[in-house]
Every structure is written in structure tokens, then in C-alpha cells.
Amino acid sequence: MKNWKSYLQVTLSILLGAVLFLAIDFFISELLVRFYMGKYEITNRLDLGEDMGFGLLAVSVFLLSLIVVMPITQYFSWRLMKSLNWFKR
């Protein structure tokens, strides 16, 4: 029974960390869109699809947030799962 609870704890921790990462990454990408549209005076979001510079910037921001934010969200989700009384041995 101990193995089952530990597998469940790891699985829920990974899922919670991934959801937190996606929420934070969505927020960061929206800030990036607002900044880019304001800097280059773009009024329509559809115009961003033709801009190659924005695509490269978006990919680099995603990779940077993947490297920085994903370990942090995994750490905090693991700590949360360990603090819950569901998984006490």
C-alpha cells in the first residue's frame, strides 16, 4: 500500500506542477503580447501571425520559462503534496 500512495503522490505532484506551469506561462505570454504590440504599435492580434520576430521571441520566452518556472512549480507542488495528510505513511 505504501508504493501505491507514493506513486499517487508523484503523479498528482507532476500534474499540479504542469497545470501551474501552464497557467504561469499563459500569463507570461500575454504580458509578452501586450509589450510587443505596444512597442511596435500593432493594433490587431492577427498581424502578429505574420511577424517572424515575435515568433522567435515567443519561443525563446517559452523555453526560458520552461527552464526557470517548471522546476519551481514542481518543487512547490511536491511540497504541497507532502504537506497533505493523505500521503502519510
Q: Has residue 42 been placed in a domain?
A: yes
Q: Has residue 13 been placed in a domain?
A: no
> Mean pLDDT in the chain?
87
pLDDT tens profile 23-55: 999 999 999 999 999 998 989 888 888 888 888
d(CA 36, CA 13): 34
d(CA 29, CA 24): 9
Of the pLDDT bands very low, low, confident and very high (cuts 50, 70, 90), residue 1 is: low
Q: Has residue 68 been placed in a domain?
A: yes
Q: Has residue 5 been placed in a domain?
A: no
Instruction: Specify the pTM.
Output: 0.79
Number of structural domains, the chain? 1
Of the pLDDT bands very low, low, confident and very high (cuts 50, 70, 90), residue 89 is: low
Give the Å distances, CA to CA, from 60 to 19, 21, 23: 20, 16, 17
Q: Has residue 3 been placed in a domain?
A: no
Task: Label residues 47-84 b or e (16+ Cβ within 10 Å = b).
Answer: ebeeeeebeeebeeeeeebeeebbeebbeebbeebeee
